[in-house]
Structure 1
Amino acid sequence: MGYDLEKKLVIAISSRALFDLENENEIFEKKGLDEYYKHQIEKEDELIEKGTGFRLVKNLLKINEDFPNDKQVEVIILSRNNAATSLRITKSIEKYGLDIARSAWSGGNDIAKYLKPFKVDLFLSANELDVQNAINEGIAAARILPYKNEEDEYSNQVKIAFDGDAVLFSEESEIIYKTQGLEAFLEYEKKNASNALQSGPFAQLLRVISNIQSKYPQEQTPIRTALITARNSPAHERVIRTLSQWGVRLDESFFLGGVDKYEVVEAFGADIFFDDQDVHLESTSKKTPSAKVPYHDDSILKKI
């Protein structure tokens, strides 16, 4: 019987999201594929610096220490590199002591089609097209933003922060706010307060995380989650009712009503923050690993 990924939290991450390969990417963009391959092969034994997603991955893999015979988290490298250039990446993984044994190297081809066979719950990449293709496949995905902090600390508790609308929930309410204004948005939320919000691209990921959390007493959970949203009272009521109907928990919730998010995200100590709007991510990514969710569903426009 094959190795079962079905009941694990499966994170697929590109090599450029895990490691700082921006210089190498610049070689690719300016000098082409052959020069990029040549560079990676020549630097095969040179350790690659940590990237935006490194802290998240390292902390997630620590969860498996509690389940030596039944891993809860599986991290897979899913990259557009080819097998020849993969050696530098896998050697760096080994040197950093990351328990990552599975990988796929597409040689430049679209990698979104491999996400479902690997049972992926979350895909992180620096490539905007790959992320959008993953979202189109129904997989929670986000584009990692540049971040570097030599003072990053690693812990036995992973902290993940989410925006609400267009991330955990559908963008239906956000579209009303953008197209019809605040008063229309508040009226719509008041009218639908008892109706659960539709699932967004990260709703299923939250459910998988909640399943891991349920195996621990709440005060000992290895994953702590937070909702950090621009919503405020009375629009927060629908969010609370939705999470209750979904049967999931968020450890902390912040309804900011337009207050800047970056200080709250930093105070929470997020290993990663997911949002769909550049206006928030430009600030958070300076202090916290952050990723953009490129979510948009044309079918919602027909309902409004």
Structure 2
Amino acid sequence: MPYDLSDKLVIGISSRALFDLEAENAIYAEKGVEAYSDYQRAHENDALEPGTAFPLVKALLSLNELIPERRLVEVVVISRNTPDTGLRAFNAIAAHKLDISRAAFTGGGPTAPYLKAFKIDLFLSRDTGDVQEAIDAGVAAAQLYTAPTEYSAPENQIRIAFDGDAVLFSAESERIFAEKGLEAFAKHEQRHRKKAMKEGPFAKLLLALSEIQKQFPPTECPVRIAIVTARNSPAHQRVIHTLRTWNVNVDEAFFLGGLKKAEVLQAFGAHMFFDDQEGHVETASVVVPSGRVPYKGGQLAGGARKTAGASKPAARAAKR
């Protein structure tokens, strides 16, 4: 019988999101693919340090040990590397004793066409283009920022934090703000406070995590979910009614009304934080692993944001 991934949470991850390959990526960017390939082969048995997503992946895989009779999570390496240069990633997986056995190495070709073939629920990469293509293909994806220099993952728990609009929920309300301003946004949300929002790119991931939570007694569940949003009263009401409609109970919610998210995320101890706004992701990534969720088809029209403090885009090198 073929192995069935449809009843599992499947994480797709690039080798550079899983391990620290920044020096190697610099060789690729500065000297080209041949120099990069030569370096990877020469160092394929050298140890690789954890990358931004390593704590999350390790924690999610640990769920399989809690319910041995049923695997809840699978992780697939999906990379633009060739099989030859990808050998170093598999050597590192073995060295770190990660329970990962599947991979797709596209040899420089696009990765997005393979995400649905592997039933990927969440794709994590350092490459902006690969992430955008995944989002456009209808797969939850995030571009990971550099891991914080001082971060200690919570033990015996998995803590994941989400922004709301354009991440868990659709960008409809975000567009109203961008086109008509904050007052129009507030009136719209108050008028529709009991109407559930449409699903955003990460809604299905939230539902999948909620199903995993239901496999454990509430007092013993290792998965904790938080919403950390710039919304505040009275716009918080629509968030709560939406979650009720989806039959999802988040463990914690923070309605910050424009306050910075980083300190709350550090207190929560997130293994990963997902947000659509570069400014929020950049500040959060200093204290917790963080990823930016791009809009479908690129940036929201007008480029406006509901909160102050969104910084200018950071220059990012091409990622593998």
Partner of 1:56: 56
Partner of 1:110: 110
Matched, 1:256 2:232: no
Contact 2:266 2:287 in 1 (8 A): yes
**TM-fit CA distance, 1:262:** 0.5
Q: How far apart in 1 are the matches of 2:37 and 2:93?
A: 19
Contact 2:122 2:205 in 1 (8 A): yes
Q: What secondary structure sits across from 1:135 in the alignment? A: helix
Contact 1:58 1:154 in 2 (8 A): no
**TM-fit CA distance, 1:281:** 1.2
Q: What secondary structure sits across from 1:85 in the alignment? A: helix
**TM-fit CA distance, 1:297:** 5.9
**TM-fit CA distance, 1:161:** 0.2
Q: Which runs of 5+ in 1 are unaligned?
A: none
Contact 2:123 2:131 in 1 (8 A): yes
Q: How far apart in 2 are the matches of 1:69 and 1:268?
A: 31
Partner of 2:130: 130
Could you say if the C-alpha distance between residues 274 and 148 of structure 1 is closer, same or farther in structure 2, counting changes exceeding 3 Å?
Answer: same
The Cα offsets for residues 134-175 of structure 1, whole Å up to 9 and x where unpaired, read as 001110000010114365235221100000000000111112
Partner of 1:267: 267
Partner of 2:88: 88
After TM superposition, what 4+ stretches of structure 1 lie above 4 angstroms from structure 2?
none
Q: Which amino acid aligns with 2:250?
A: L
Matched, 1:224 2:219: no
Partner of 1:296: 296
Could you say if the C-alpha distance between residues 297 and 28 of structure 1 is closer, same or farther in structure 2, counting changes exceeding 3 Å?
Answer: closer
Partner of 1:23: 23
Q: How far apart in 2 are the matches of 1:100 and 1:130?
A: 21
Q: What secondary structure sits across from 2:83 in the alignment? A: coil
Q: What secondary structure sits across from 2:62 in the alignment? A: helix
What does 1:133-144 correspond to in 2, within 5 Å? 133-144=133-144
Q: How far apart in 1 are the matches of 2:89 and 2:155?
A: 24
Matched, 1:10 2:10: yes
% identical equivalent positions: 52
Q: Which amino acid aligns with 1:6?
A: S
Q: Which amino acid aligns with 2:161?
A: A
Q: How far apart in 2 are the matches of 1:297 and 1:35?
A: 34
Q: How far apart in 2 are the matches of 1:256 and 1:179?
A: 22
Q: Which amino acid aligns with 1:294?
A: P
Q: Which amino acid aligns with 1:208?
A: A
Q: Which amino acid aligns with 1:235?
A: A
Partner of 2:77: 77
Partner of 1:215: 215
Q: Which amino acid aligns with 1:164?
A: G
Q: Which amino acid aligns with 1:28?
A: Y
Contact 1:37 1:85 in 2 (8 A): yes
Q: What secondary structure sits across from 1:124 in the alignment? A: strand
TM-score (norm 1): 0.96
Q: Which amino acid aligns with 2:186?
A: L
Q: Which amino acid aligns with 1:260?
A: K
Contact 1:17 1:124 in 2 (8 A): yes
Q: Which amino acid aligns with 1:263?
A: E
Contact 1:166 1:296 in 2 (8 A): no
Could you say if the C-alpha distance between residues 270 and 151 of structure 1 is closer, same or farther in structure 2, counting changes exceeding 3 Å?
Answer: closer
Contact 1:167 1:203 in 2 (8 A): yes
Q: Which moved more, 1:147-156 or 1:46-55?
A: 147-156
Aligned-residue CA RMSD in angstroms? Answer: 1.4
Matched, 1:195 2:210: no
Q: How far apart in 1 are the matches of 2:131 and 2:151?
A: 28
Could you say if the C-alpha distance between residues 98 and 216 of structure 1 is closer, same or farther in structure 2, counting changes exceeding 3 Å?
Answer: same
**Number of residues of Structure 1 aligned to a counterpart in Structure 2:** 300
**TM-fit CA distance, 1:282:** 1.4
TM-score (norm 2): 0.91
**TM-fit CA distance, 1:249:** 1.5
Q: What secondary structure sits across from 1:12 in the alignment? A: strand
Q: Which moved more, 1:188-197 or 1:105-114?
A: 188-197
Partner of 2:308: none
Could you say if the C-alpha distance between residues 151 and 185 of structure 1 is closer, same or farther in structure 2, counting changes exceeding 3 Å?
Answer: closer
Contact 2:135 2:296 in 1 (8 A): no
Contact 2:148 2:285 in 1 (8 A): no
Matched, 1:39 2:39: yes
